[in-house]
Amino acid sequence: MKRDAVESVLKTLANANLVKRICGKYATTIPVISNKKAKLIAEYLEEPTTHIVDVLERRIGHLKAAYSKTRLSKSFMWSDVAHMIVDALLMGLPFLNCTTNMMLEMRSISGLD
């Protein structure tokens, strides 16, 4: 590749926060972790993830309905994007808080609290 093309790609990656420029050089912003650390993280996240999946499974109809109201739904069917939307929700830390609030709300509605 020519230098200009490489620099253009690196700028695009930097704009997407996938790389950053440090002292005139580019470095990845994607964290690299060991298998041991990955296993610890997976163990730590197992319980909250199970709860999130449970909430998502029960609320999938709400997600589909919300998606159907977006401009994106005019170009892409739910079945084309559902995996990306659900993955994004599972990965988003703000969603963990939202899910916790939904779970607390459901408990109080069902008399479980």
Mean pLDDT of the chain: 78
User: What's the structural domain count of the chain?
Assistant: 2
Co-location of 21 and 56 in the same domain: no
4 & 49 share domain: no
Contacts of 56 (CB under 8 A, 6+ apart): 63, 86, 89, 90
pLDDT in tens, 63-103: 899 889 988 889 989 998 888 877 777 666 555 566 566 65
Which structural domain range is residue 43 located in? 35-110
How many Cα atoms sit within 13 Å of 97 on the Cβ side?
A: 3
Same domain, 19 and 47: no
Give pLDDT, residue 69.
Answer: 92
Residues 21 and 49 in one domain: no
Give the per-residue pLDDT at 86. 78
Shared-domain flag, residues 18 and 56: no
Q: Are residues 55 and 101 in the same domain?
A: yes
pTM: 0.41
Residue 90 near residue 96, CB atoms below 8 Å: no
Q: Are residues 41 and 75 in the same domain?
A: yes
Query: Are both 27 and 46 inside the same structural domain?
Result: no
42 with 64, same domain: the answer is yes
Which residues, other chains included, contact 1 with Cβ-Cβ below 8 Å and sequence gap of 6+? 9
- 70 lies in the same domain as 103: yes
Number of neighbouring beta carbons within 10 Å of residue 81 = 16
pLDDT band at 113 (very low <50, low <70, confident <90, very high): very low
